[in-house]
Chains A and B, each alone.
Chain A
Amino acid sequence: MPFEVIIGAWVATGLTLFIFTFLYEDNPIFKLAEHLYVGISVGYTIVKAYDTVIVHLIYVPMIKEGDWSLLVPVGLGLLMLARYVPNAGWLSRYAFAFIVGVGSGLAIPRTISSFILKQVEDTIRPLVTLLPDGGVTFTASLLNPASNLNAIILLVGVVSVLFYFFFSLEHDGPLRTAARTGILFLMIAFGAAFGYTVMARMSLLIGRFTDLIEFAGPAYGRPTFWLIPLVVGALILWSTRRRPAPPEA
């Protein structure tokens, strides 16, 4: 087993246990791990951003390869920093206007196409048939075993949920029934989302426990067995020696 892997296993085990101490109470060991996480994440991001942007995307192409056209985006980017100069703050508006304009222009048509038009098409298409003359005929039939029952349920769900968010007419009579059906579909959707969220959080916990079990092996020097008593001991020591909080006046 390489030495750096063993060191990594000890660090991972220790930090995992440090974080788990929060289950007892907020404490200095947890804070140490938390601050390390934030500090390392920010440090890593800054170093990667400097290396990727300044070195590989600006310095090398401009200075070494002579691609001076990059001065335009660099200048536009630098204009953003003008916000920190009170008298020149207005210059940053050009950069922001460019970003918002380009971003909206790229995102809006593609998002409408991908998430609205394509989804509307998929909701309706299984229920209809396109005729050779360009017309459309409704072909879905519950009496036909080949008919797509899921597509009908989806259509009912989509229409009823849309009715639920349709506030121009009072939800009364048939509209009330449609809106109530929409609520049912929404609840099912929220339930599914909640179930998946539980699964995701449990997956993280399973991952941590899997590592703790793996690192309990002799190949890594059994860091789990050594560090659990140390962390618990440190927690007990901190708990017994801390000063009681002063009574509130």
Chain B
Amino acid sequence: MILPENSIGKNIINHPFVWSSEIASAVFDLFPYPIGIVADDTSLIYVNKALLRAFGYNENSDVSDDIFLTYSNPNDRLEISKILKEKGEVVNFQTSFVRKNGDEYKTFLNAKSVRIGEKDHILLMILVGSDDVKMAWEDLRIKDQEISAIYKNSSDAIMRLAPPDWKFTGGNDTAFKMFNIADESEFTSIGPWNLSPQYQPDGKLSSEKAKEMIEKAVHDGSNIFEWTHKKYNGEDFSAMVFLTRINRGKDVSLQAVVRDISAEKKAEQEKSFRILLLKTVLESSMDGILVVDENSKVVSCNHNFTQIWSIPEDVLATKSDELLLNYVSEKLENPDEFRVKVKELYENKAKKSRDDISLKDGRIFERYSSPLIDENNKYLGRVWYFRDVTKERGKLYSLLNFAESTKKKLSAYTPLSVIEASNIETSKDTFDSTVVAIDNIISYHNLEDSRTEAMRKAMVSILSDLSLEKKNLEESKNKIEAIITSIADGIFVVNMAGEVIFFNPAAENLTGWSKSEVLGKHFSETMYFCSDEHSERNSFIKLTLENGLTEKLGFHASLRKKDGVIIPISDSISPIKNLEGKMQGAVIVFSDATAERKIDSAKSEFVMLASHQLRTPISTSAWFLEMLLSGEVGELNEKQKDYAQELFHSNRRMWSIVSMLLNISRIEMGTFIISPEIYEIKNVIDEILSSYRLSFEKKNLSYEVTVEENLPSINIDKKLFNIVMDNLLSNSSDYTPENGKIIVSVKKDDQNLIIDVTDNGIGIPKKDQSKIFTKLFRSDNAKEIDSDGTGIGLNMTKSVVESWNGKLGFTSPVTMRKDEKGKEYPVGTSFFFSIPLSGMIKKEGSVELLS
């Protein structure tokens, strides 16, 4: 039954809230007394169910248009008109109507006229006895008060909008307060578009979208949606809006219930962001992590966990802890001991543990387990961290043994640092340095759905309760937070403005800055990370904030603490992105790398010493071979000459490997010199190509040089440049079959000179492309052609190019060709590297690289 305007008392009439409320509908329809409402021309505009019954109609039929009151005595009609004019008084008189079946319906008529706007209406009550009249009025009065109270005290803004321009026609006090409006007269002078920003978050014009929303409500009867409102001449806020259509005869208007949800929304966003950032933190780390719940069931694990244990997808998919444990046990040297420990830890919930476990394949993992306990001391589960420490343990011991055994021989020129390496102890405290992703802790999509659903419910019932969702979010957050506080990596988070918004205890320890000194300030005020003394500080954070990529300071990263002490660190930084992929900030994870760095540099120094020691016998045997081959101590026969040639060839190869190893250790130690001078790039390239003329002619390779016009001369270290060109050219000539072609081209873009070496050789197989810069890696097709390659050249070349802030890359194949049978095969490789147009920057160092 559609409810009319102007039905009962003045209060109700002025309460738009009534019209939307099912309570009101119920009040009228369940009312035991027949009620009819007539307009001032005495035409009937509303009847309730009781009246329909009284007049013999089916109470479900929508007959309001068909019913008219036929007075048994037409004079009574005049009487009623008279009452309409008198207004305000309740009048009783007895009259009778004609029912549907023609019977006469005698009744007391109890009527009151009410003036609303331009129109007068009369309230008709048709009753059986005079006592009932009083009771009926009293009931109506109470309902009226109840509704009035809801309207007045509602924390939601309730207002009405009327066509044609959908201006506000009224609202409750909350509405005025919410929109910062002085009074009703100001309110009725404006429309919804005055209370919205120009655009909604989806980019639509508010005025157009508002129209859509209003049309939908008018069409469907109601419309619930989220809306960004704006206080009158003030700031924006988020709201849920519930529009309901109100029909008054043929007139249609809308009632809007508006709830300010900005606080909830903000809290919710903060929580989502928090979870997001915590999740990203875990993703930025490197250990294998497994999380189990309080019943020791697998909750989730990160990618690295499956990697280091090589756990197949199907085993993982079962989520069965027993299967997983079986699978892991098979790989262990001592599975029983492992299981005993696992059992022990599951039985002693509070216990933490750290130990090494050995795998059958020779790897050593450090296992660390810590309970997950929330702030209320509730046990939520347990986290297992696994770190492959084979290298750290193995490298250290073998290095120390090796160093010890050769110490005597090398004692005359063993640098102090190798001796110092003997003092390095395996430090178990370095364990907690990294963590990786826990991917499935929270399913964001589920979260999203439940949020919308909860809001819908909340708005429809006007009384919302987000507490369940809050609880879920809270629990997820606690779990991840527990993980993060249980690791010893320094972690901090910056927002897009560069302000530090999270700083964990380990970060306090490592940097010497306390949380309170750092939070809320720009990271550059306190943080001081750099890759070496000449580089820009904190450059990696700036880069990530600008380009959204995962960055690393790299090999020589160090941190300057608050007290000025500089410590080596390993670091990584990842962007934090929300569900829409928009960047929210970045998380920086770092750990003390003093021990690692010592091992690394001891390793590099050792390689350097060892390869240096190899150089003397290599060069001496070359001399003897030279003398044999020259015939100066007697002619060799053909076989002898052949063998001596082979020896000489192997000798040269050994020499180049040793030189390259030396170069790599120099690069890794960062001790080599860059001393640039001004050159015309074309001259440098011509010069180096001329040294290849002979070897090109041998294979009948043609070559071509194309240099862009008007290139500026550039500051380069010719030796470094030649090392790079040498590697690329010798690769090209080695892996291009006879009669092939090599093209060297030079061009420039906005910031770089780009040198490209392209051949039509055997190309690099797709499967090997990700590995070609890996030290000692050689692709199968390259091995077939040239068994002499070392697998060192490209690794070194890349390091050299990067040393001058250049980039080295490649594409392969360059084209496809067809063999005699018409089958296509890939051809060619193109390597390219860049030099900043500003040139290479001079770098002091102690050694040069060997060409």
A and B are partners in one complex rather than unrelated chains: no
Q: Which residues of B are in contact with A by a Cβ distance under 8 Å?
A: none
Q: Which residues of A are in contact with B by a Cβ distance under 8 Å?
A: none
